Amino acid sequence: MKKTGNVLGLAAALLFSLGLAASAHAKSHAWTGWISDSACGAKGANAGAKDCTMKCVKQHGAKYVFVNESNKKVYAIANQKAVSESDLGHEVVLHGSLTKKGSIVASSITAKGM
């Protein structure tokens, strides 16, 4: 029994490290758009939605999402802690990589034009 547990633990560690290596080599992109919440999606992609987005995330369990300005496509943000309140309510440039599942791992979020 103990050998099986060790083999499974080693296999899990190997798969985890391979996943980290793959994500480290993912191609970085920059997108322009808005930070919204998963409840409102593209409807929350505007300057007046800051308070609504904060309320939905903090009080109702919604998640931050990114809305691409050019095509209004909504992307989940994999690392929620990358978003700060200062990112809400104005157009931003999000740098990051797209996962195989279609979410974005954000490396930076800055106000457009800065």
Q: Rounded to the nearest 5 degrees, what angle is found at the Cα of 61, between the Cα atoms of 33 and 74?
A: 25
Question: What sign has the CA pseudo-torsion 37, 39, 42, 43?
Answer: negative
Q: Who has greater pLDDT, 81 or 1?
A: 81
Dist. CA 114–CA 84, nearest whole Å: 16
Once rounded to an integer, what is the mean pLDDT over residues 90-106? 97
Domains and CATH numbers, the chain: 28-111 (2.40.50)
User: Where does residue 56 rank: exposed (0-12), middle (13-18), buried (19+ CB within 10 A)?
Assistant: buried
Q: Are 29 and 96 in contact (CB under 8 A)?
A: yes
pLDDT, tens digit, 9 for 90 and up, residues 30-42: 999 999 999 999 9
pLDDT at 51 over 50: yes
Strands ordered across the beta sheet of 74-76: 74-76, 64-68, 28-37, 92-98, 104-111
Name the pLDDT band for 50 (thresholds 50, 70, 90).
very high
Q: Who has greater pLDDT, 46 or 17?
A: 46
Q: What is the pLDDT of residue 17?
A: 47
Greatest C-alpha distance within the chain:
60
